Amino acid sequence: MARASPPTTGSSTRPMAISSARRIAFEVLRRVEAEGAYASDVLHAELGGSIKPEDAALATELTLGVLRWRALLDFLLERQLKKSVARLDLPVATALRMGLYQLRFLERIPARAAVHESVELVKRARKASAAPLVNAVLRRLASDAKAPIEKLLPSGATLAERLAILHSHPAWMVERWLARTGESQTIALLEANNRTPRLSCALHDPARREEIFASLQTTGLHAEPGRLLNAAFAVSGGSPTRTAAFRAGHISIQDEASQSIPLLLDVQRADRVLDLCAAPGGKTPPLARAAGKQGLVIAADRHAHRLRAMRQQFTRLGLEGAHLVELDATKPLPFRTQFNRILVDAPCSGTGTLARHPEIRWRLQPAQLPEFHALQTSLLEAALESLAPGGRLVYSTCSLEPEENETVVAAALDRNHAIRRLNKTEAARSIAPHLVPGLEAASFFDRSAQFRTIPGEYHTDGFFATMLEKK
């Protein structure tokens, strides 16, 4: 990890020791903001090797906590600064946010440690001139760090503006959800987005469940059954990527709702299967296993580097039989054969994953939703051209927005009368065998037989899927 050299302007500005957890979190937050990186990706790279589990846990908590609560942190900081946090140099803004997050949300960290190390982070980043400002602002905030936010809200704020501050989301996003689902459901969604998501895994060989769980426990991990799928489980107490079970390809990290999507295709032996937007590759393995050696499975993506990462993943899993193809799926597909199973897990805004990827809420803009709609519509229409008669296509996103979901499907159905949507009974039949006992498959489908998971209901990401068939 590249770090700035310490300043040498005198003992008063010489940086003192900073915990590795705070150094890592500071660097990750810098890269998320300055480079457009995703926090989960950078954390995964930074937390390998010799990092102690407790330091990895704190670095993750600081990084994702600051990203989730950025709007609230900035609101409180700006009351002291009397100017926008956005006008500060990025290292200064990051140190202030990290310090205030610790003061307000982390009970076990002494206020003096939160303030002191935030000051030292600024010095380390060659912004020693801002150290007195960081020190003064955080010391003032430390005195009333737990004060109720409701008493500080502007008197003329609308409901959306109040919720946007209290739950740290963009006001435009809150306004959309209020208009669509009402206040109580919107608050439930906002609260779910600010909770740490379950670390869910896919179990690739359910027959070895007890053996795999026992091996995880020897590394200090605690495993518990999935909330949706009988081949899923959740872990706590560490990282599954450091275990022998992960290295051997027996498990993968994947949200349960994401695991559900390929099951909707109901792939059979010898099927011809196309995973059109396959990267990062989590949904292809169950398709390939279901199709077997007699089947044809093609996993496509437009980016060569993502295909290389998928190939490494498939090697870890011992997966054979999936052919990787680089292509632009918005254009006519280059296949002579037609497929009887196609998955279009389309690129999307990701508003169903804001708990797992909180930086998305600050990057996404309303004007991007029509752009996603146009892209998704072109992907779906291209895929439908390659669907064999009697074949099934699943269109899915991890978005909650109608522009990316219902209206995309509606546009495709309007233009192609040879396509029908499966009814609720047909749709539920595909996933029913995979659900944990006691769950009713039909409950995951709305009146239009559209599959949905809502963040907070089953501790999963928010996914949408529709199952289409060519007549």
Q: Amino acid identity of 422?
A: L
Whole-model pTM?
0.93
What is the chain's pLDDT, residue by residue, as a tens digit (471 residues)? 333 333 333 334 454 678 999 999 999 999 999 999 999 999 998 987 788 889 999 999 999 999 999 999 999 999 999 999 999 999 999 999 999 999 999 999 999 999 999 999 999 999 999 999 999 999 999 988 888 999 999 999 999 999 999 999 999 999 999 999 999 999 999 999 999 999 999 999 888 999 999 999 999 999 999 999 999 999 999 889 889 999 999 999 999 999 999 999 999 999 999 999 999 999 999 999 999 999 999 999 999 999 999 999 999 999 988 999 999 999 999 999 999 999 999 999 999 999 999 999 999 999 999 999 999 999 999 999 999 999 999 999 999 999 999 999 999 999 999 999 999 999 999 999 999 999 999 999 999 999 999 998 999 999 999 999 999
Task: Tell me which fold the domain 20-149 belongs to.
Answer: N-utilizing Substance Protein B Homolog; Chain A (1.10.940)
pLDDT of residue 146: 82
Q: Measure the CA–CA gap between 269 and 271, rounded to whole angstroms.
A: 6
Q: Amino acid identity of 26?
A: F
Q: Specify whether 277 is catalytic.
A: no
Task: Report whether 128 contacts 9 (CB < 8 A).
Answer: yes
CATH number of the domain located at residue range(s) 261-470 in this protein: 3.40.50.150
User: In 3D, which of 207, 200, 269 has the Cα closest to residue 235?
Assistant: 200
pLDDT of residue 14: 52
Domains 20-149 and 199-253 share a fold: no
pLDDT of residue 53: 86
Quote the radius of gyration of the chain (alpha carbons, Å).
24
CATH number of the domain located at residue range(s) 199-253 in this protein: 3.30.70.1170
Q: What is the dihedral of CA 56, 144, 74, 22, to 10 degrees?
A: -20
pLDDT of residue 7: 34
Catalytic residue among 201, 277, 348, 398: 398
Q: Measure the CA–CA gap between 401 and 370, rounded to whole angstroms.
A: 11
Would you kindly state where each structural domain of the chain is located, as residue ranges?
A: 20-149, 156-193, 199-253, 261-470
Q: Measure the CA–CA gap between 461 and 353, rounded to whole angstroms.
A: 5
pLDDT of residue 16: 61
Tokens coding 173: 């996003």
Q: Measure the CA–CA gap between 122 and 90, rounded to whole angstroms.
A: 10
Q: Measure the CA–CA gap between 178 and 182, rounded to whole angstroms.
A: 5
